[in-house]
Structure 1
Amino acid sequence: MGRRRAAEVAVITGASAGVGRATARLLARRGIAIALLARGRTGLDAVAEEVRAAGSRALPVEVDMAEHDQVVAAGQRIEDELGPIDLWINNAFSSVLAPFRDTRPAEFERAMQVTYLGYVHGTRVALHHMTPRDRGVIVQVGSALAYRGIPLQAAYCGAKHAIVGFTESLRCELMHERSTIAVTMVHLPALNTPQFDWLLSRLPRRARPVPPIYAPAVAARAIVAAADRPGRREYWVGASTALAILGNRLAPGLLDRYLARTGYDAQQTDRPADPDRPANLWLPADGPGGRDRGAGGSFTDRAHRHSAQAWLSRHRLVTATGLTAAAVGALAWRRAAG
C-alpha cells in the first residue's frame, strides 16, 4: 500500500467545546477544511472563528448526533460545501453523573443515544461517503472507562464499552472486504473540559475529574497523531489510562473493591453542588443565550499539559530503540566491570 493521502476535509463531532474544540484548533493549523458538528450555536460560532483565524475553512453545523437523519443531512452538506470527507472524528457525548438507581430511564437512554448511537450514526455516514472512494480515516475517541467502569458514571461507561465492541466488529468487516478505510480508537484519561460544569449531575457535591487530570490539548495531539497513523487498533493516552486498562485485565475484583471505597469522593470536590448549574443532556448549555465554554474546564490549575506516556506511545520505534540501546549499554558496562 502506498503512502496514505493527507486529509483535506475533516469532520469533528462535539466540536464546540472540550476535546473537540482543542482538536479543531490543532487541525486548523494544517490548513485542513473542518466541518464542526455540535448542538450549541454559541460554541460552534466561536470555534469556527478560531479555525478561520488559523487560515482554514470552517463549516459549523448544528446537529444532534442522536438523530440519524440530522447526521445524514450534515454529511451531505459537508460533501457539497467542503468536498470529499477524508477524516471523521467521533467525539460528541453527554451523560449523567449519578448513581445508577438515581438515573431516570429516559436520562440513561438519552445518554446512550448521544454517546453510543451518535458514534454509530457518525460512522455510518462517514462510511457512506468514504466507501465508494475506498479511502478515509475514522477516529473513535474513547476512554479508559471503555475498559474499566467506575461508580457514578454507569451511562458513560456503558456507552464507551459499547463503542469498543462496535468498532471491533466494524474493523473485522472492513478487513474482510479488503477496504483501505482505517478505523482506530484513542482512549483518554481524565481531562479538564467543561463536561464537569454542564453534565446533568445529581451528586451532592461539585463534580470533578479523577486525578491525574490532563489538559484537552494532550488529547487533541493524540487524536491528530492517530489520524496520521491509523494502522494501530488503538492508542492509550496518559499513564492513568494504561494503568486502568492493564489493572482491570490483571485484577478486576481488586479494582472493584478499591473503586467502591474511593470512587465517590474522588469524583467530587468539597464544595456543595450548584443547584442552578446548566445540564446539557437534552439541550446544549451553549445554545442561544448561553456562553462559550471553550476547550478547558474549571480545573486548569491542576491539569497536566503533557503526557510522557502518550508521547512514548506515539513514538514506539524511538522508545524501543532507546530501550534497546540502554540495555546494550548496561550489558557492556557489566561486562567491562566484570
Structure 2
Amino acid sequence: MPQTVVITGASAGIGRAAARAFAARGANVALLARGRAGLEAAAREVEAAGGRALPIPTDVADPAQVEAAAEAAEAEFGRLDVWVNTAFSSVFARFTDITPAEYVRTTEVTYLGFVNGTRAALSRMLPQDHGVIVQVGSALGDRSIPLQSAYCGAKHAINGFTSSVRTELMHEGSEVQLTVVQMPAVNTPQFSWVLSRLPRKPQPVAPIYQPEVAARAVVRAADHPRRKQYYVGASTAVTVLADKIAPGLLDRYLARTGFRSQQTDEPDSPDRPHNLWQPLDDTDGHDHGAHGSFDDRSHRHAPELVLSFHPRWTAAVGSAALAGAAALLTRRRRARR
C-alpha cells in the first residue's frame, strides 16, 4: 500500500525536493504551500516521479487552513503515514530594523506553522497509534547568528516544542514518532524572495548543499524516526558541539564575520519583492522551483552527511574546529595591531 505523506512548504526548496524524493518511492504526497504556481509545478513533478499528488493552497500560520488541508489529504489518500513540516518565512535585518508585525508574521509561519502542522498530524495519528512527524530544523536552532533573529528564535522554539511533545508521547507509550532534522545552509529560493534590509543581496554561509541532499535526509529520518534528532553535514554537527563547548568564542567570531558572510558583493534593492505577506509565485505566476541561485557553489552530495554521528568523531572534529577558530581570531587580532 503506498505511503501517504503531507509536506508543508512543498512549493520550493527542501519541501519541493522532499516531495520528489517520496514520490520516487511511489508515495501519495499532499503538497501544502501558499503559491499556486509552485504547487502546480510540484504536483507535476510528483506525478512524473511515480507518486500521486494533491496540491492544497495553505497558509500554515492559519490553524484552520492546516486542519482543512489535513482533512482533504486524509479524504483523498486515507491514513496519514508521514507529516513533514518545512514551511518558513524570514527577515534578513538587524533586530532593531524589524517591525513588530514582521516579527509576528515570521514567528507565526516558521514556529506556529510547525505547531499547527504537528497538531493536525497528531489528531489523526494518535487514534491509529501510527505515524511519523519530521520537523525540518536548522543548525541556527542551536547556534544563532546575526541578522536572522526572527528565524533563529523560531527555530529554537521548534526544538523546545518538539522535545516537550516527544516526552508526552513517550509517557503515553505512543508509537507515533517525532524527530527533527537539523539542516545546514541549503541552496533554496529563499535568498531571492526573503524580506531583506541588508545593503547587499543575502546569501547562505558555506558550505552550501543542494535541496536534494536535505531531501534524502528527510526521507531517511522518516524511515528511522526513533532518534530524536539528526544533523545534516559535518559543519552542522560541529557548530552545535562547538557552541556548547565555547559559546563565547563563537559569539566573538560571528560578531566579526556574520554580517559580511551573509551578503554577496552585489547591491540589493530595498524595493525588491518579497514573500513575507504573500507568495511571489501567486503574484507573477512564476514557479521558483527547488533551487536557489547558488548552484555553482552548492554540493550535490554529502560524503560527510551526518545523520547518526559517533560522539567521539564529533568531539574530535569539534575540537579541531574550535582550535581553528581560535587561531583565526588570534591572527586577526595581531593583524589589527
* TM-score of the pair, normalised by structure 2: 0.90
Is 1:107 equivalent to 2:107 in the alignment? no
SS at match of 2:55: strand
Give CA-to-partner distance per residue, 1:19-78, whole Å, 9 cap, x none. 000101111111100000000000000000001112211000000000011111111111
- Deviation for aligned residue 1:274: 3.0
Give CA-to-partner distance per residue, 1:159-179, whole Å, 9 cap, x none. 000000000000000000000
1:178 to 159, 173, 177: 173
Asked if the contact 1:225/1:314 (under 8 Å) is kept, the reply is no
User: Residue 233 of structure 1 corresponds to which residue in structure 2?
Assistant: 228
Asked if the contact 1:12/1:89 (under 8 Å) is kept, the reply is yes
User: Residue 54 of structure 1 corresponds to which residue in structure 2?
Assistant: 49
Q: 1:7 to 1:226 in 2, by over 3 A?
A: farther
User: Residue 307 of structure 2 corresponds to which residue in structure 1?
Assistant: 313
Asked if the contact 1:7/1:87 (under 8 Å) is kept, the reply is no
**Counterpart of 2:307 in structure 1: which amino acid?**
S
- Deviation for aligned residue 1:243: 1.6
Q: Distance in 2 between matches of 1:251 and 1:7?
A: 47
2:114 to 119, 131, 135: 119
- Deviation for aligned residue 1:315: 8.2
Aligned length: 311
1:44 to 39, 43, 49: 39
User: Residue 87 of structure 2 corresponds to which residue in structure 1?
Assistant: 92
- Deviation for aligned residue 1:275: 3.7
**Counterpart of 1:27 in structure 2: which amino acid?**
F
**Counterpart of 1:57 in structure 2: which amino acid?**
R
Larger Rg: 1
Q: Distance in 1 between matches of 2:130 and 2:167?
A: 16
Unmatched 5+ residue regions in structure 1? 1-5, 320-338
- Deviation for aligned residue 1:278: 2.0
1:216 to 211, 214, 227: 211
Q: Distance in 1 between matches of 2:249 and 2:181?
A: 26
**Counterpart of 1:103 in structure 2: which amino acid?**
I
**Counterpart of 2:28 in structure 1: which amino acid?**
A
**Counterpart of 2:287 in structure 1: which amino acid?**
D
Is 1:302 equivalent to 2:297 in the alignment? yes
Asked if the contact 2:231/2:308 (under 8 Å) is kept, the reply is no
RMSD (CA atoms): 1.3
Give CA-to-partner distance per residue, 1:184-206, whole Å, 9 cap, x none. 00000001100000010000001
Q: Distance in 2 between matches of 1:74 and 1:220?
A: 22
Unmatched 5+ residue regions in structure 2? 314-337
Asked if the contact 1:41/1:288 (under 8 Å) is kept, the reply is no
